[in-house]
Structure 1
């Protein structure tokens, strides 16, 4: 039987204080193994977060919009390799 891939963890930061959101997101990313991902749920487009990932984790992350707003944004963020 083929091995089932566990579902991606969901990280909903909409109720978190803005100052804490990036810390939670990077902690969640840091706990991933290569090939794993989580789905970020946010109340605005996390484009600045993408640029932070690009600066701090170049070539080591994936970023896929699953729901592009306008009220809820869902982004699948993965650790590559």
Structure 2
């Protein structure tokens, strides 16, 4: 079993969860979201529309944040999440 972090397998600033089991995807992305400092951002890459993820962030963020759709399917969705 590898101890590599999820971000280690993708370019810096990208959290590509397409190869992860569904049960681990939100946790991996949420971990990255919770660690954002002012001025930082990351790109989420997933194989389905991440609407539930956006709702999750709305309910947990204690600071301003932004969500920008870059690609919307059908094979991949790419979203930039940032903390101004």
Q: Compute the TM-score of the two structures, normalised by the length of structure 1.
A: 0.82
Higher strand share goes to which structure? 1
**Correspondence for 2:78:** 74
Do residues 55 (structure 1) and 59 (structure 2) align?
yes
Do residues 65 (structure 1) and 65 (structure 2) align?
no
Aligned residues: 74
Structure 1 unaligned blocks of 5 or more:
1-6
For the residues of structure 2 that align with 1:47 and 1:58, how far apart are their CA atoms? Answer: 19
**Correspondence for 2:39:** 35
For the residues of structure 1 that align with 2:19 and 2:69, how far apart are their CA atoms? Answer: 20
Structure 2 unaligned blocks of 5 or more:
1-10
**In structure 2, do the counterparts of structure 1 residues 63 and 35 end up closer, same or farther at CA, with 3 Å as the change threshold?**
same
Q: Where has structure 1 moved over 6 Å in runs of 4 or more?
A: none
